[in-house]
Amino acid sequence: MAEQASEQNSIPTSKLQRSGKFVKTGLKVSGNYIKHYSKKLFNPDLDRTELDEDNAGDIYQSLSELKGSALKVAQMLSMDKNLLPQAYVNKFSQSQYNAPPLSGPLIYQTFRKYLGKSPDKIYDKFELKSSNAASIGQVHKAELNDKQLAIKIQYPGVGDSISSDLKLVKPFALRLIGMSGKELDVYMNEVEERLLEETDYELEVRRSIEFSKACADLDNVVFPKYYPELSGKRIITMDWLDGMHLREFLNTNPSQQLRDQVGQALWDFYNFQQHELKAVHADPHPGNFLITPEGKLGVIDFGCIKEMPDDFYYPFYSLIYTQTLNNKEETIAAFRRLEMILPNDTEQQINFYYTMYKQMIGLFARPYIDPVVDFGQADFFNELYAFGDKISKMPEFKQPRGVKHFIYINRTNFGLYSILHDLKARVKTDTYKPHFALILA
């Protein structure tokens, strides 16, 4: 286990307090730039490594103290190796496991507010020290009637500050990502919608029960039992699952057979949802999963669910699973439905985006082509990241393209690929496929 950050005794909850924190961070970042360019006067060959590390450290420290949506966005960005310099990826990824936890008084305050009692009056035992602290909440171990429980507690003010936090984080994101303001607005609006759902723990309990029941027959996938009567708007009570997070699991040097078993469970878990439920667990970072002592995949968080409407699902998966991509006219028609090609595009633009998006989809779909894929092979991922880096620098991709559903579906699938790559798993990819029951209009 990584060493946990020191406890946090208070969280800025008002808009004024939180905006003040961003202003102070902005001043620190400006100071880092001044220091960098001062050094560069005497050393013209100085690169941005130190600047990126200083800025990443200052921004992460601020976001980890604010918690909530701002920290969640940092966590999301850390999962995309093409969006941020490596220093930011390294620092922001800490929020998957190791954000500063709440102190005891804040924990008791949250329980009294939402369940009307302190935790020692609800459970037979309650460990005040958290076992895991992330961007939205932290987890404590408890016991009731000889049953081991996990208690997830949301940080104060998180659910009420989403909109204002995203407005505050926008200037940092504009500078770091390099998107146009209009494109970033589309991104932020979709993120805000998902985060509003993710901070509603009553909704998460209902979805957790629904999805764990729907996925109950999947091989080597297990879920905790949830207790609505011991949960509330900002608190969730569920069974404790014993297991290791991915980083800890890999440190045990597991056998290839075990890596394959966990990887297959992960692949089946995601593709079953996408094609049988048309709704998917859209937060595939390693902190949301455990590998149990039996080598099963434990799914411990259903806070972020992305539903796929038919007008997105059918044209998108037709490009991956059918011969559509081999027919230019049908491919362009699908691109238009998905708003990857826009009504006012010139013939030159149509041909450009057709060529680039066809290459992109072909690369993305490669794991689905062969019935068995070795995700440990580096060539595919090197090509994937190189292509992403290439288009991120092209002015044609600075304007918004694609329907909003791509934001979380791309995040889901690339997050899945990334975890499978870390596992170096060999996976059968033909276990669940789309149902093209509707004729594409």
Check residue 224 and report its DSSP letter.
-
Asked whether the predicted pLDDT for residue 419 surpasses 60, the reply is yes
Please check whether residues 255 and 109 belong to one and the same domain. no
Please check whether residues 78 and 220 belong to one and the same domain. no
The reported pTM is: 0.78
**435 confidence band (pLDDT: 50, 70, 90):** confident
> Within a domain: residue 364?
yes
Q: From CA 123, how far away is CA 395, in angstroms rounded?
A: 57
Q: Which residues pair with 142 in a beta bridge?
A: 126, 149
Please check whether residues 224 and 253 belong to one and the same domain. no
Asked whether the predicted pLDDT for residue 144 surpasses 90, the reply is yes
Mean pLDDT of the chain: 82
Q: Considering the chain, what percentage of its residues have pLDDT values greater than 70? A: 73
> Within a domain: residue 8?
no
Tens of pLDDT, residues 85-115: 666 666 665 554 455 566 788 889 889 999 9
**15 confidence band (pLDDT: 50, 70, 90):** low
Please check whether residues 229 and 247 belong to one and the same domain. no
> Looking at residue 188, what is its pLDDT?
74
Domain interval for residue 230: 103-154+200-240
> Within a domain: residue 3?
no
Instruction: Give the mean model confidence (pLDDT) for residues 121-148.
Output: 90
Regarding predicted confidence, which is higher, 122 or 384? 122
Asked whether the predicted pLDDT for residue 19 surpasses 70, the reply is no
> Looking at residue 18, what is its pLDDT?
62
> Within a domain: residue 108?
yes
Beta strands in 129-199 (DSSP E): 132-133, 137-144, 147-154
Tens of pLDDT, residues 379-418: 998 898 888 878 877 888 877 688 989 888 988 998 899 9
Please check whether residues 132 and 50 belong to one and the same domain. no
> Within a domain: residue 420?
yes
> Looking at residue 397, what is its pLDDT?
81
Asked whether the predicted pLDDT for residue 59 surpasses 80, the reply is no
Q: From CA 128, how far away is CA 156, in angstroms rounded?
A: 17
- The total number of structural domains in the chain stands at 3
> Within a domain: residue 221?
yes
> Looking at residue 192, what is its pLDDT?
80
Tens of pLDDT, residues 252-303: 999 999 999 999 999 999 999 999 999 999 988 888 899 999 999 999 988 8
Instruction: Give the mean model confidence (pLDDT) for residues 321-350.
Output: 94
> Looking at residue 441, what is its pLDDT?
40
> Looking at residue 161, what is its pLDDT?
72
Please check whether residues 426 and 303 belong to one and the same domain. yes
Cα atoms in the Cβ-side hemisphere of radius 13 Å centred on 109:
12
Please, are residues 141 and 127 in contact by the beta-carbon 8 Å criterion? Answer: yes
Other CB atoms within 10 A of residue 250 CB: 16
> Looking at residue 52, what is its pLDDT?
72
Instruction: Give the mean model confidence (pLDDT) for residues 206-214.
Output: 95
Three-class SS state of 130? coil
Three-class SS state of 302? coil
Please check whether residues 379 and 394 belong to one and the same domain. yes
> Looking at residue 133, what is its pLDDT?
72
> Within a domain: residue 1?
no
Other CB atoms within 10 A of residue 120 CB: 13
> Within a domain: residue 188?
no
> Looking at residue 322, what is its pLDDT?
85
